[in-house]
Structure 1
Amino acid sequence: MSAKYRLEITKGEEVRYVSHLDYMRSIERAVRRSKLPAAYSEGFNPHMKIAFASALSVGVASEAEYMDIELTHELDPAAMGEALARHLPPGIAVRRLRPVSARHAALMAVVNLAAYRISLPLPAAAAGPAREAVSRFNAAAAVPYIKENPKGKREIDVKTYVSEVSATATADGMELALAVRITPTGSIKPAEVLKVLVDNFALPADPDAALVTRTGLFVADGTSRISPLDI
């Protein structure tokens, strides 16, 4: 009988600039090299039954990504994690894993909130204006933004997805923290939020110098946040 497992994994600095497709391929290679009994789809072009919660943009690292994988039979989770860890490249590590039942909803169907950290190099003199820019964003009732994608352009309200940004001074600049809602009709990238802060609220920062890290993915209900591994 097949078995389904949910894993919490990282995308560290070593693979920050790897595309999501290459990131996924690296994990699939590790699964094959570790001799895990991965299940495959049927048909002319069978593929490994593996699914991720949410794709990361190139240049974005992560402390907690989530993936589901189906095996042809049950394995001890600890042994499975050890086998996989031996073949993962630097920057990708298994933090936690556990078996889940077939009744568990797909990750993409339940994850609705993503938390990010944006590290910005700033001169000391820019700290005050940066905090003021963030305060103006937080105070705004609506923040229009023209979002572009392959299907064209559409105007969205940034506040639909990000209600507040927090700013903390660091030794070499500032660190922004934000939680982004993921909805059935769309979401917004942290890089786009940063662009809005720079263009619309005069944040004195260079977006190209920013380092974005996803710090968590959650199932949120307005009052609490739960890791996809804990539902």
Structure 2
Amino acid sequence: MARVRPGEAANPAPPTVQRIRVRFAKRGRLRFLSHRDVARSVERAVRRSGVPVSHSHGFSPHPRISWIGAAPTGTASEAEYFEIGLTREMEPDVVRTALDAVLPDGLDILDAVVATPPALADRVDASLWRIALPGVSGADLRAAVEGLMAKDSLVVDRIMPSGKRQIDVRAAVAWAEAGEDSPGGVTPEETGGAAVCAILTAVVRQTTPAVRPDDVLGALDVVAGLKPPVPAKSTRLAQGLLDDSGRLTDPLGSDRVTTRA
């Protein structure tokens, strides 16, 4: 075995010459995948696609893929992100097409760009959520949302592996709005066969620990006794930096922003 010289890495790998930022969706039944399952699926897709991913140094090299803000297990998303390091430069659309072709249906690559400063983590501080509430009327949801937004603070308990944790949901919710009963665009899966289906749209700031859709629904229960008769369907529509108007900038660096519901 060759001796490793001082200052040199064991088993040196080709350097990273380009980083690509990728936006992907988690849809349908694959919303029940954990973040670890999603990460493994992407790593397998990278190997199968032939994309020249760079690896860490050492005796157990790993592909240079970094993640941010994974959606909770059980929630769908149209705005998940990762960055991938490459050993040679490629057109982002070629990377997008190659990865999308080998990922399972439900993990869909939507966009890709060359990564530029600032870091991806510095481009995200909030998420836009759409929560379908089958069996809940628009009037009941509006009353609950008004009660929540009128509070200065509303703390809910979450059971975590380390024990019970108190989370201030109101401090994390930048804005929230209730949609009408059975609005256009509600899918049969979301309604669950219910005659009515109210829609909650909310921008939630990143906190530690992160406030999840279930925490927001728990806060609505505390403030107004709102309990959906069937499980809610949550979808993350966007992530980005929250501006003064309540919109989110696109982390991929374009001028697109979300609009309020």
Between Structure 1 and Structure 2, whose CA radius of gyration is higher?
2
Deviations 1:15-37 (A, max 9, x none): 11111111111111111101010
User: Amino acid of the residue matched to residue 153 of structure 1?
Assistant: K
User: Amino acid of the residue matched to residue 217 of structure 2?
Assistant: L
Question: Between Structure 1 and Structure 2, how many residues are aligned?
Answer: 225
Deviates more, 1:55-64 or 1:165-174: 165-174
In the TM superposition, what is the alpha-carbon distance from 1:219 to its structure 2 partner? 1.8
1:20 to 1:45, Cα distance in 2 relative to 1, 3 A:
same
* Matched residue, 1:222: 244
* Matched residue, 2:73: 58
* Matched residue, 1:211: 233
Q: Aligned-pair RMSD on alpha carbons? A: 2.0
Q: 200, 206, 210: which is aligned to 1:187? A: 210
1:155 to 1:83, Cα distance in 2 relative to 1, 3 A:
closer
List aligned pairs for 1:130-169, cutoff 5 A.
130-169=141-180
**Tell me, what secondary structure is at the counterpart of 2:102?**
coil
What TM-score does the superposition give when structure 1 sets the normalisation length? 0.89
What TM-score does the superposition give when structure 2 sets the normalisation length? 0.79
Q: Which structure is higher in strand share?
A: 1
Distance 2:54 2:89 in 1: 11
Contact persistence 2:167–2:209 (CA under 8 A): no
Deviations 1:56-112 (A, max 9, x none): 2111110111110001110122222222221011011221111124x441x334311
Contact persistence 2:169–2:215 (CA under 8 A): no
Q: 63, 75, 86: which is aligned to 1:71? A: 86
List aligned pairs for 1:33-52, cutoff 5 A.
33-52=48-67
Unaligned runs of 5+ in 1: none
Contact persistence 2:167–2:211 (CA under 8 A): no
Distance 2:61 2:110 in 1: 28
